[in-house]
Amino acid sequence: MKVAIQGIKGSFHHIVAEEYFGKNIDLLECLSFTEMPALLEDNKADVLIMAIENSIAGAILPNYALIDDHKLTICGEFHLSIHHNLMALNGQSIEDIKEVYSHPMALLQCHKFFKDYPHIKLIEDEDTASVAKRIQDNKLMGVGAIASNLAAETYKLDILASDIQTIKENATRFFILTNNQDKSSVSANKASIKFITSHDTGSLAEILTMLAKHGLNLSKIQSMPVIDTLWKYSFFADVVFTSYADYFDALEEIREKVEALEILGEYNKGKR
C-alpha cells in the first residue's frame, strides 16, 4: 500500500497512516497538500491522507477545493486526538529556547502556553515533524519544535513540555482519498456530498428538511464559493444514516431541487 501524507515521518498524518493501514505501508512524504493529488493521477500513490478539519481551528478550506478540483473520492475518515509537545535537543530547558518553529495550525492551537514565555519567538513553518528533523540534523541549540510524541521519538529530541495545546480535547479529522470514480458503497453509513442551490428564499432550508425527513443526520455543512460565478456558493455536507435505502431516496428527492448534486464519497463513519 503506497500512502501519501502531508509532512514527513513523525507527523500527525504519519500517525493516521499507521493507525488506519498498519505499519506495513510505503510512506510517500509531501511538504504541501497541493502536490498530493498528482501522486494519485500518476499512479505513484494508492491513497492520500488529508486533514480536513480541526476541532479548534475549524475547516481547512483549501483542501475542500483540492478534493473538488481533482475529483477525488472520499473512501474513509479518521479522527485523531492531537497532543502537541514542545521539544528540543537534549540537555536544554524551556528558558534556553529562543525560537519555536511549527506549522501555523500547531502554533495557533498552542498560543496560550507561550504567553508565559515571552522570550520565545514563534515562527511558522511547513510541517511539525520536519522542524524536529531539522533541529536534530543541524544540531540547532536554542530552537524548539511543536510536534507529536512520535516526532520526538523518531528524531531523538527531549520533550520539554507535554500537551501544550490550549484546549486539551483537541482533535483533527482526516479524509482517506482515492481517485476511484466508483463512489458508491451500500455498506456505508456516512456520505459526503456537494450541492448547489438556487437563490430562491428558503432553498437551502428545503434541502435540509428533506435530509431530516429521510432520517439523515447532517453532521457538517461547509459553504464554498463557486469560482466562476460571482456570489454563488456550493455546499459540502456530511450526512450519517442507518439505512442506505433512505439515503438513496433522499438524494433522489434532493436532485430534483438543486442546480447540481455530486457524491464525493460513501464510507463508514470514523470513531471519535
Question: Is residue 227 within 8 Å of 256, Cβ to Cβ?
Answer: no
- Scored b (16 or more CB within 10 A) or e, 125-155 reads bebbbbbbbbbbeeebeebbbbbbbbbbebb
- Looking up cell 493521477 gives 41
Cβ-proximal residues to 228 (8 Å cutoff; 6+ apart), any chain: none
Q: Which CATH fold topology does 190-264 show? A: Alpha-Beta Plaits (3.30.70)
Question: Is residue 11 within 8 Å of 28, Cβ to Cβ?
Answer: no
Top pLDDT among 31 and 220 is at: 220
How does DSSP classify residue 197? Answer: -
Using CA atoms, how far apart are residues 149 and 135, in angstroms rounded to an integer?
15
pLDDT > 90? residue 158? yes
Domain definitions of the chain by residue range: 2-82+171-178, 85-161, 190-264
H or E element: which one contains 78? Answer: strand 73-81
Reported as a single tens digit per residue, the pLDDT across 187-219 is 999 999 999 998 888 999 999 999 999 999 999
Q: Do domains 2-82+171-178 and 85-161 have the same CATH topology?
A: yes
The mean pLDDT value for 105-117 works out to: 94
Using CA atoms, how far apart are residues 227 and 27, in angstroms rounded to an integer?
34
Q: Which CATH class is domain 2-82+171-178?
A: alpha beta
The length of the chain is 272
If one looks up domain 85-161 in CATH, what number appears? 3.40.190.10
How does DSSP classify residue 83? Answer: -
pTM of the model: 0.92
- Which amino acid is residue 3, in one-letter code? V
Using CA atoms, how far apart are residues 9 and 24, in angstroms rounded to an integer?
14
Question: Is residue 49 within 8 Å of 17, Cβ to Cβ?
Answer: yes
Question: Is residue 236 within 8 Å of 226, Cβ to Cβ?
Answer: no
Cα first-last separation, the chain? 25
Reported as a single tens digit per residue, the pLDDT across 132-155 is 999 999 999 999 999 999 999 999
Reported as a single tens digit per residue, the pLDDT across 225-234 is 988 888 889 9
